[in-house]
């Protein structure tokens, strides 16, 4: 499973979803889906824009957690 840690980053930077959408030029609905980890796929440009906005590494935004059934 891939965990999207957008909620953690927004909290750490005290930023709203709306503000991030404005900075990154990503639709607010897309930011919301990422925030609630409901998105099925993420565009590379979106990841780049989010990392640029937070001045972070991709590993600060995404985390791989092995599935229990694959162990």
Q: What is the CATH number of the domain that holds 11?
A: 1.10.260.40
- Residue 71's pLDDT band (boundaries 50, 70, 90)? low
**What per-residue confidence (pLDDT) applies to 60?**
97
**Domain enclosing residue 6, as ranges:** 2-70
User: Number of structural domains, the chain?
Assistant: 1
Give CB contacts under 8 A, 24+ apart, made by 22-30: 23/49, 23/53, 24/49, 24/50, 24/52, 24/53, 25/49, 26/50
**Partners of 64 in beta bridges:** 2
pTM of the full structure: 0.90
Element (H or E) spanning 4, and its range?
strand 2-4
**What per-residue confidence (pLDDT) applies to 67?**
86
Give the residue among 11, 12, 10 at the shortest CA–CA distance from 20: 10
More confident residue, 70 or 60: 60
**What per-residue confidence (pLDDT) applies to 45?**
98
DSSP 8-state class, residue 68? G
- Residue-wise pLDDT for 14-58, tens only, equals 999 999 999 999 999 999 999 999 999 999 999 999 999 999 999
């Amino acid at each position: 499973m891939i965990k999207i840690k957008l909620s953690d980053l927004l909290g750490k930077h005290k930023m709203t979803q709306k503000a991030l959408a404005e900075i990154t030029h990503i639709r607010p609905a897309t930011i919301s889906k990422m925030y609630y980890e409901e998105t099925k796929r993420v565009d590379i440009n979106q990841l780049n824009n989010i990392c640029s906005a937070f001045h972070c590494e991709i590993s600060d935004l995404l985390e791989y957690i092995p599935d229990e059934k694959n162990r």
